[in-house]
Structure 1
Amino acid sequence: MPHVITQSCCSDGSCVYACPVNCIHPTPDEPGFATAEMLYVDPDACVDCGACVSACPVGAIVPDTKLVAEQLPFIELNAAFYPDRQGKKLPPTSKLAPVPPAPEIQRHGMPLTVAIVGSGPAAMYAADELLTQHGVRVNVFEKLPTPYGLVRAGVAPDHQHTKQVTRLFDRIADQPGFQFFLNVTIGKHLSHAELLAHHHAVLYAVGAPNDRRLEIEGMDRPGVHTATELVAWYNGHPDFTDLPVDLSAQRVVIIGNGNVALDVARILTADPDDLAGTDIADHALAALRESKVREVVIAARRGPADSAFTLPELIGLTAHRLVVLDAADRDLVTADLAGEHDALTRNKLDILATLGDAAEPAPAGAHRIRLAYRLTPARVIGDDAVTAVEFVRTGTDEVCRVDAGLLATSIGYHGKAVADLPFDAAAGVVPNDDGRVTGAPGSYVAGWIKRGPTGFIGTNKTCAQHTVHQLVEDFNAGVLTDPAESRGALERLVAQRQPELVDLHGWHAINAAEIARGDGIRPRDKFTRVNAMLAVAAMAPRPTLRDKLRAALRV
């Protein structure tokens, strides 16, 4: 009975190292890991031990006999990754996937102390890698009172399995030597130079927070948003709680067809009663209950074979939503099927070919999603609000209009310059050599600000490991300057600059309160206002002097 990976998994890689017969690929040391849409269990090599189930941080692995109907396509998807053995059973092997060695600290004396700016996956994986060594101290700085970045504010609320990776991050944060400085903004409360004065190194894992923008007429109209803004709105990010989302029209247009576009379309067409059992923000759930939206059009410049969404996300979407094509787009799918494509693209096209007909009316009261291809956006129509989006058929002069009351663009992300570090504005990254910031000794990067907005949650694990190895190598070589200030001096400075600092105890209080507010019906009921978070954090029990001494001795 082989196990099956059943979603666009986080690619954390923990399951790879847990498997005793090395049957999960691509492994982090294999070339395809960074670009793989997910990991795959070899059904012939799997020995049904279940080790991968325990290791997976997002609950994505299931025995094939326990799959529900919508998960059945993943049996073939896992098997298709492996070569056709013409019916020959692959014998189990004792070979293990190579576990990357931890960076070994060889320099004795002052313990390595690192500041990490950001608290998303890249930051937490970097902290975990550093803390494999005894005596290391890691201080994580985050501008919000809550940690974990896009896992908290970017993963769709109906993907609760993916959000379970925060349990792993909580275990990392509880390790000796780890300290949170939440609600602290670098560049406002502390400068880069001040971080360097208190640490051997500063590692930035700040992601790519800016959206790429369309340069067409009408983008300043009310009712035009980015998909990232909508995601943050329904996920309860405090900066987007008051976003004016108008769902009074029957149609929404999303430009771009990556996974984020599919997420937004799925949430806008969901049954609010189904979302009521998730951690969706209360204000978003209330708006969706009053929503008049019945169709979401996902428009892409290129053809079906170039669809940016991943195959697992398409499988998940079509299992739970009415997804349709019009006649012209169905012809494009048929034409693409006649060409040569890799297996993943062909599988996408096969699914697209089975979609419903947009000319057929949807059942009364039902929602639907229409995938539309070869549409290049030309302008947004409307005066006081969006009323339509005008497109040009890609490669032609044909103009077509799609009536809509809301437009969301989902065309990618772009990094933001970090104060006092060099920045490549075109690429949206901090220039670096495998994590070492160019021309800035003691400064490092990991995640999207290092490599650009590519990969999945777990891709950041390998990325962070590479950066940490460079950092430790520099520490061992004596390249990094010892901190000029004491550990206590840093805590006093932060408290002086930001009296509303939230530490690990404050985060534990916020986390516990949100879970309690969920009342066992929802995984959590999020606070969406910073003042509410701070009020709860302020009530957290403070560590005694004995607690502090014990913590210091554990490092």
Structure 2
Amino acid sequence: MRHIAIVGSGPAGYYTAEAAQKAFGDDVRVDVFDMLPVPYGLIRTGVAPDHQSIKGVARRYEKTALTENVRFVGNVAIGRDLEIAELQELYDAVVLATGAPRDRQLGMPGEDLENVFGSAAFVGWYNGHPEFADLDPDLSGDTAVVIGMGNVALDVARILAKTVEELEGSDIVSHAYDALNASSIERIIILGRRGPHQIMMTPKELGELGSLERAAPHVERDDLPEEVEDAMLEPGLRKSVTLLRQYAATPEHIRAEKQIAIEFAFFTQPKSLIGNDKVEQIEIEHTKLEKGRAVGTGEIRQLPAQLVISCIGYQTAPIPGVPFDTRAGRFANDDGRILPGLYCVGWAKRGPSGTIGTNRPDGQGIVELIAADLADGTLGRGGKSGREGFDELASKRGLDVVTFQDWKKIEEAEAAAARDGAPREKFVDIEAMIRASSR
């Protein structure tokens, strides 16, 4: 019997568990650890609450989780409850699938002002992540600035712009639902250093801005390149740029009918955030493209900004004893191998790129590496205690482990507490989750 520990129960973790099942059959036991009492990682706390169809992929992970040779081990934090070295002593292979839960820093003056947030924190707030449930952003100003030109920036802008009626059917948590209902925001500026041809926005997400009840997107025609240049783009990006052209052509009287303006500020890089205690303005510099790179022109001005959300990327959280590539913001690895018996997968391996589905072949690849290392003796001859050894250690330390069956009780309680039309009302407090799991 071979024993594999996977740290992280998001898409990368469960795709790896599924691949291990297929590769090793009944000759493997997989324990999937998570610091939270609830599984699914990014699916639960990263995917936008109004994108319920995307969250449906969790049903696939549940099929894996309910099999005998895969076990969910929730409410166990590596570095707090046990160390990586201890996992390595218990399991033949340890796979880090911890994702990239930390925001990249802006690295500019004023980013420590109040009401300036990274997207991991802000998205975590409206998605009910326990770490960010108390964020309490001030939405009483009239202008929000969203820094970034990817889908996360679109998610943030869309959630800020939607009416509560449009959020019905979503699983946005009640504290965010209520705050957004009372919001005074009238202007959302999406700010990017480069131009329309360099955006990382997909057509589906970009197209959603065009059908919002009280908000209208606006693009300056002068920011768009000649239309003939669109022919050189890959098909998905070409569709996105076509949408930007449609937004630029929207008549002014139609935009004026909307309560909220969503403005795309291309060729604009942030220089500093200005305010006393709380952010009030953002200083920007206009840019131009030189060989595909954004270069400052020296033209500087200020924009109002009572709320700033930075959506410029994520980083993996370091773990003591695990080599880390600080510059890349992920674990130092050679195609998934970190050290003998220690691997990484998903964003923890490659950085925050790709879609949820990208993690499936990634998980398969890691399991192939583990199989090869088992075959050539790199991982030893077996005999490790695996889950039996962990259970003994957990008992000695008094760990309050949450199983998948316990999670199903949490899930039932969340569904029972949901407002009308919503699929669930998430617990945002770990102790409340634990109480629900033991009913």
TM-score where L is the length of structure 2: 0.92
1:515 aligns with 2:415: yes
- Tell me how far 1:484 sits from its aligned partner: 4.1
Trace 1:439-478 onto structure 2 (pairs within 5 A). 440-478=339-377
- Tell me how far 1:160 sits from its aligned partner: 0.4
Which residue pairs with 1:10 in the alignment?
none
CA contact (8 A) 2:92 2:384 kept: no
CA contact (8 A) 2:19 2:367 kept: yes
Greater alpha carbon shift after TM alignment, 310-319 vs 289-298: 310-319
Do the aligned partners of residues 334 and 427 (structure 1) sit closer, same or farther apart at CA in structure 2, a change above 3 Å counting?
closer
CA contact (8 A) 2:216 2:258 kept: no
Which residue pairs with 2:7 in the alignment?
117
1:480 aligns with 2:379: yes
1:431 aligns with 2:326: no
- Give the whole-Å Cα distance in 2 for the aligned partners of 1:247 and 1:534: 32
CA contact (8 A) 1:198 1:483 kept: no
Greater alpha carbon shift after TM alignment, 412-421 vs 445-454: 412-421
Do the aligned partners of residues 486 and 285 (structure 1) sit closer, same or farther apart at CA in structure 2, a change above 3 Å counting?
closer
- State which of 165, 187, 191 in structure 1 corresponds to 2:79: 187
Gaps of 5+ in 1: 1-110, 540-555
SS of corresponding position for 1:433: coil
Which residue pairs with 1:393 in the alignment?
286
Q: Which amino acid aligns with 2:341?
A: G
Do the aligned partners of residues 494 and 358 (structure 1) sit closer, same or farther apart at CA in structure 2, a change above 3 Å counting?
farther
Q: Which amino acid aligns with 1:377?
A: P
> What's the Cα RMSD here?
1.9
Q: Which amino acid aligns with 2:13?
A: A
- Tell me how far 1:290 sits from its aligned partner: 0.6
- Give the whole-Å Cα distance in 1 for the aligned partners of 2:324 and 2:166: 43
- Give the whole-Å Cα distance in 2 for the aligned partners of 1:301 and 1:204: 33
Do the aligned partners of residues 362 and 339 (structure 1) sit closer, same or farther apart at CA in structure 2, a change above 3 Å counting?
closer
Do the aligned partners of residues 483 and 316 (structure 1) sit closer, same or farther apart at CA in structure 2, a change above 3 Å counting?
farther
Do the aligned partners of residues 125 and 138 (structure 1) sit closer, same or farther apart at CA in structure 2, a change above 3 Å counting?
same
- Give the whole-Å Cα distance in 2 for the aligned partners of 1:277 and 1:339: 37
Q: Which amino acid aligns with 1:307?
A: I
- Give the whole-Å Cα distance in 1 for the aligned partners of 2:268 and 2:386: 59
- Give the whole-Å Cα distance in 2 for the aligned partners of 1:384 and 1:362: 34
Trace 1:128-167 onto structure 2 (pairs within 5 A). 128-132=18-22, 133-167=25-59
1:533 aligns with 2:433: yes
CA contact (8 A) 1:325 1:372 kept: no
- Give the whole-Å Cα distance in 1 for the aligned partners of 2:173 and 2:200: 28
- Give the whole-Å Cα distance in 2 for the aligned partners of 1:341 and 1:366: 36
- Give the whole-Å Cα distance in 2 for the aligned partners of 1:415 and 1:361: 43
Q: What do the CA deviations read for 1:103-126 (whole angstroms, capped 9, x no partner)?
A: xxxxxxxx1110000111000000
More strand by proportion, 1 or 2? Answer: 2
1:272 aligns with 2:164: yes
- Give the whole-Å Cα distance in 2 for the aligned partners of 1:531 and 1:280: 20
Do the aligned partners of residues 426 and 227 (structure 1) sit closer, same or farther apart at CA in structure 2, a change above 3 Å counting?
same
Gaps of 5+ in 2: 288-295
Which residue pairs with 2:293 in the alignment?
none
- Tell me how far 1:466 sits from its aligned partner: 0.3
CA contact (8 A) 2:100 2:352 kept: yes
Q: Which amino acid aligns with 1:433?
A: D
- Give the whole-Å Cα distance in 1 for the aligned partners of 2:333 and 2:197: 34
Q: Which amino acid aligns with 1:184?
A: V
Do the aligned partners of residues 487 and 162 (structure 1) sit closer, same or farther apart at CA in structure 2, a change above 3 Å counting?
closer
- Give the whole-Å Cα distance in 1 for the aligned partners of 2:147 and 2:387: 49
Q: Which amino acid aligns with 1:508?
A: K
- Tell me how far 1:311 sits from its aligned partner: 2.3
- Give the whole-Å Cα distance in 1 for the aligned partners of 2:146 and 2:420: 34
Q: What do the CA deviations read for 1:361-391 (whole angstroms, capped 9, x no partner)?
A: 8445622311110111011111121111110
Q: Which amino acid aligns with 1:396?
A: T
- Tell me how far 1:339 sits from its aligned partner: 6.3
- Give the whole-Å Cα distance in 2 for the aligned partners of 1:205 and 1:490: 19
TM-score where L is the length of structure 1: 0.73
Greater Rg, structure 1 or structure 2? 1
Higher relative contact order (CA 8 A, sep 6+): 2
CA contact (8 A) 1:197 1:483 kept: no
- Tell me how far 1:398 sits from its aligned partner: 1.4
- Tell me how far 1:276 sits from its aligned partner: 3.3
- Give the whole-Å Cα distance in 1 for the aligned partners of 2:223 and 2:419: 49
- Give the whole-Å Cα distance in 1 for the aligned partners of 2:81 and 2:435: 20
**Any runs of at least 4 consecutive aligned residues in structure 1 with deviations exceeding 4 A, and if so which?**
336-340, 356-365
